């Protein structure tokens, strides 16, 4: 791999060109875009500035920060961990190492949950495995915006996701409506308390073989506990479907995000588990993405 000459001055154009070259040499898929995003983050610049004012002088004290961002991206650290955030459902979410980065496909489960909450005039929901809080916070935010009274409980087995979710709930003004509890699946909840109108989860669902095939930046940097599941990726679906009826009110809904090849199997599990009106919903790429059913 060739070594790119480090600029001696502080011109924006020179440093942007260097960053792009560094990432291109490492075979990063989108070197130009990534270098631009990292420069915008390091120097707090709007993108148009990068293209219109290449002669602009950059503050010397932040150049080392930009170099560190480029080095982290060269090591295939996800760019959202470096920038510290990701947009989801039109809202900005803090993300950092230890939480799964929200994917646009996951908006499918939020849209479905919004629809069902309105349909049954739901008041309370549970999310199993909150991650960054993208699902719970988005659901609370938009229902609150509609003037609906709605609250949620969120569980996660790790502390970092709970911390990040708290931060995102505060950012979007829904922290008073969200109770967070550390624990595995339904374990931290009151036994036999059928208190929820909706239960949602985007559980780990990659099998061992699928884990080997995902991009290195996902496999090596995002939390394995949020990605991998035993039993060919189906373990958590079996457990959630089995336990959810003890916590759902009559006519309540269970909504599960799935891998695109798991629709039929999870559909059968939900029918066998006593759920009615079971449906498979597609994402924007027309792939199976959510299975939902009514108790």
171-198: per-residue pLDDT in tens? 999 999 999 999 999 999 976 678 999 9
Amino acid 196: pLDDT: 96
Q: Region 28-46: what's the mean pLDDT?
A: 95
Could you tell me the residue ranges of all domains in the chain?
Answer: 12-75, 85-294
Percentage above 70 pLDDT, the chain: 98
User: Nearest 5°: phi and psi at 213?
Assistant: -95, -15
Per-residue pLDDT, 207: 83
Helices 60-74 & 12-25 angle (0-180, nearest 10): 10
- pTM value? 0.92
At 192 the pLDDT is 61
Tokens 């506990």 correspond to what residue? 225
Written as six digits, the tokens of 66 are: 């930009």
Count of other CB atoms within 10 angstroms of residue 8: 7
Average pLDDT over residues 234-243: 95
134: pLDDT strictly greater than 60: yes
**Region at 251 (left for phi over 0; alpha for psi -120 to 50; beta for the rest):** left
What pairing do the DSSP bridges indicate for beta strands 248-257 and 288-294? Answer: antiparallel
Q: How confident is the model at residue 210 (pLDDT cuts 50, 70, 90)?
A: confident
Q: In this structure, are residues 1 and 26 in contact, taking their beta carbons and an 8 Å threshold? A: yes
Choose among 142, 145, 153: nearest CA to 114. 142
Q: What superfamily in CATH does domain 85-294 come from?
A: Vaccinia Virus protein VP39 (3.40.50.150)
The DSSP element (H or E) to which 51 belongs, if any, is helix 47-52
Measured N-to-C along each axis, helices 134-145 and 159-171 cross at an angle, to the nearest 10 degrees, of 20
Burial class (CB in 10 A: 0-12, 13-18, 19+), 65: middle
Token pair for 259: 């891998």
Measured CA to CA, the distance from residue 232 to residue 237 in angstroms comes to: 11
Give me the torsion for CA of 186, 244, 175, 130, rounded to 10°: 70
Q: Cα torsion at 75, 78, 81, 85 (round to 10°)?
A: 150
Q: Which of 198, 107, 85 is nearest to 152 (CA)?
A: 198
């Amino acid at each position: 791999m060739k070594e790119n000459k480090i600029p001696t001055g502080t011109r924006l154009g020179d440093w942007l060109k260097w960053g792009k070259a560094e990432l291109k040499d490492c075979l990063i898929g989108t070197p130009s875009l990534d270098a631009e995003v990292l420069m915008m983050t390091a120097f707090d610049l709007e993108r148009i500035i990068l293209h219109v004012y290449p002669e602009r002088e950059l503050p010397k004290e932040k150049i080392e920060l930009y170099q560190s961002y480029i080095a982290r991206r060269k090591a295939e650290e996800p760019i959202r961990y470096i920038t510290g955030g990701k947009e989801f459902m039109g809202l900005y979410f803090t993300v950092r190492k230890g939480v799964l980065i929200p994917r646009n496909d996951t908006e499918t489960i939020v849209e479905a949950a919004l629809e069902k909450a309105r349909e049954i005039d739901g008041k309370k929901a549970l999310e199993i495995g909150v991650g960054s809080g993208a699902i719970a916070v988005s659901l609370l935010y938009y229902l609150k915006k509609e003037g609906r009274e709605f609250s949620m409980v969120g569980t996660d087995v790790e502390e970092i996701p709970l911390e990040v979710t708290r931060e995102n709930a505060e950012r979007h003004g829904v922290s008073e409506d969200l109770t967070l509890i550390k624990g595995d699946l339904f374990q931290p909840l009151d036994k036999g308390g059928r208190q929820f109108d909706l239960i949602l989860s985007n559980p780990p669902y990659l099998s061992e073989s699928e884990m080997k095939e995902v991009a290195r930046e996902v496999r090596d940097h995002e939390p394995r506990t949020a990605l991998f599941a035993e039993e060919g990726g189906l373990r958590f679906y079996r457990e959630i479907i089995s336990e959810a009826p003890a916590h759902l009110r009559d006519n309540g809904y269970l909504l599960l995000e799935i891998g695109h090849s798991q629709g039929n199997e999870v559909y059968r599990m939900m029918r066998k588990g006593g759920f009615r009106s079971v449906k498979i919903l597609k994402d924007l790429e027309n792939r199976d993405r959510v299975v939902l059913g009514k108790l």
